[in-house]
Amino acid sequence: MQPVLSLRGISKSFPGVKALSGVQLDLYPGQVTALVGENGAGKSTIVKVLTGIYQPDEGTISVNGAETRFPTAEAAAAAGVTAIHQETVLFDELSVAENIWLGHAPRSRFGLIDWKAMREGARKLLTSIGADLDPDLKLRDLGIASKHLVAIARALSIDARVVIMDEPTASLSHKEIHELYELVDKLKSQGKAILFISHKFDEIFRIADRYTVFRDGAFVGEGRVSEVTESDLVRLMVGRSVDQIFPARAHNIGDEVLTVAGYNHPTEFADIGFTLRQGEILGFYGLVGAGRSEVMQALFGMTRPSKGAMRLDGQVRVVRSADEAIAAGIVYVPEDRGRQGAVKGLPIFQNVTLPSLPATSRNGFLRLAEEFRLTRHYTQRLDLRAAALDQDVGLLSGGNQQKVVIAKWLATKPRVIILDEPTKGIDIGSKAAVHEFMAELAAEGLAVIMVSSEIPEVLGMSDRVIVMREGRIVAEYSGDAMTPENLVRAAAGLETAA
């Protein structure tokens, strides 16, 4: 059988990062191909290449055997490639019919939009996928599952031949997931080629015909799902050559600093309990959406757990807000550096001293000299590259911005530092610096929690690893049990080897 869409030797680089190197991917009509890989394997990048958002640096794209290019998103859509994203990109304030037909609405004789044809067409498309939705409903009144249906109807309205589903079940309920499976079967029977991106092994084995595995931006294998086992796939995903060097660690683990017991939240997490010791790096691994960041935000006082207790140095502490957490000695370096980290427009030193202003003031007035001293001290330790300390943070590179954010927290002299995806999206050089610094912090007796979705980082840096899945702690590993296979299996909800 000839693939409807075929990629060969696709490479794509960003400054400092090679996102894809020479990958291949084939999609066949009437078949579901599962694209499998860890976070950072290049799945999102390939989707963007397929939908014309990124241009590959090298490689070819063939549709039905004929080589082509997707210079724009429109070109990809015209070739019949459409993507249904995790958070569906639709318009909340428009009706179902308008969402389906936006950009290619049927026209009346005078070039005006033919509302009647639009509604009827929408109804017909929705019926064909078994969705009983009123085309006049506003999209914002629909649930996520129904929005997916609208997105799929839209895909059909442009006569898509290739449908990309990027973690479509991530936010669906059990029943909705089953309806989605039926829909996928229906699309298969209509001869569509489907690319299904998922972290969940049960659904890969339930609906996929073929698989393709990426690892670190490279193609590592493909085949028929019926011919592999879960273990084979896990091995393909994680088996790697050691290409990242992690700093040597002195494991001087001291007394318990933080004890969390019975933390519950109505929607985000349940039964969270763990201990953290001085000088320890505790890794938190899990799939995106496993509730790791939510737990950390609760520890930091941003969200209130409904139940549970926290002890810091043996004392019960109630942390109701971020400034109370900072005062107690807990700091949280958030994941999204752009949104939650640096204040662009403010100079470096003002960013660094922002949570330490009471300490740098005297009689209610800030002392600039003290602010500069504090900033110089911590930015030098982090090897920050900046022209001057009163330079706007927004002008620094991503890695250097991250260093400013870390310096800001160190300046508060914390006991516990929580780093949420500390190296996400920064170049390799800056990554190594952050890792080295983390090791230094632990060596100085700080207790470090590192939330990370990158297995090498988790394994390379942590003394212990806690794995979370769907809001709960499902496993804890240390020593020889800290293997890539164990982490992936626990996070995906597979049985783990004892």
Smallest gap from Cβ 187 to other proteins, in A, equals: 27
Joined tokens for residue 258: 């933080």
Which residue, 204 or 325, has its beta carbon nearer to other proteins? 325
Judged by DSSP in three states, 383 sits in coil
DSSP letter at 340 equals I
Which residue, 350 or 496, has its beta carbon nearer to other proteins? 350
Which residue, 336 or 444, has its beta carbon nearer to other proteins? 336
Which residue, 232 or 392, has its beta carbon nearer to other proteins? 392
Cβ-based neighbours of 131, under 8 Å, separated by 6 or more = 146, 149, 153
Which residue, 42 or 341, has its beta carbon nearer to other proteins? 341
d(CA 380, CA 406): 12
Which residue, 110 or 365, has its beta carbon nearer to other proteins? 365
Written as one letter, the residue type at 495 is E
d(CA 190, CA 5): 16
Element (DSSP H or E) covering residue 451? strand 447-451
Cβ-based neighbours of 62, under 8 Å, separated by 6 or more = 3, 5, 6, 7, 8, 68
Interface contacts to other proteins, rule CB under 8 A: 14-15, 44, 300, 302, 321-326, 332, 334, 336, 338-347, 350, 354-355, 357-358, 361, 364-366, 368, 390, 392, 398, 408, 425
Cβ-based neighbours of 233, under 8 Å, separated by 6 or more = 36, 201, 204, 211, 213
Which residue, 15 or 103, has its beta carbon nearer to other proteins? 15
Smallest gap from Cβ 359 to other proteins, in A, equals: 10
Q: HSE (CB half, 13 Å, CA atoms) of 93? A: 0
Smallest gap from Cβ 409 to other proteins, in A, equals: 9
Which candidate, 11, 470, 483, places its Cα nearest to that of 200? 470
Smallest gap from Cβ 61 to other proteins, in A, equals: 20
d(CA 215, CA 287): 16
The whole-angstrom distance between residue 184's C-alpha and the CA centroid of its chain comes to: 24
Q: Is 172 exposed, middle or buried (0-12, 13-18, 19+ CB in 10 A)?
A: middle
Beta strands at 81-84 and 162-166: parallel, antiparallel or unpaired: parallel
Smallest gap from Cβ 416 to other proteins, in A, equals: 15
Smallest gap from Cβ 352 to other proteins, in A, equals: 10
Smallest gap from Cβ 351 to other proteins, in A, equals: 8
Which residue, 44 or 68, has its beta carbon nearer to other proteins? 44
Smallest gap from Cβ 390 to other proteins, in A, equals: 6
Taking a C-beta distance cutoff of 8 angstroms, is the pair 130, 182 a contact? yes
DSSP letter at 81 equals E
Give the Cβ contact number of residue 216 at 10 Å: 19
Which residue, 404 or 458, has its beta carbon nearer to other proteins? 404
Taking a C-beta distance cutoff of 8 angstroms, is the pair 470, 288 a contact? no
Smallest gap from Cβ 339 to other proteins, in A, equals: 5
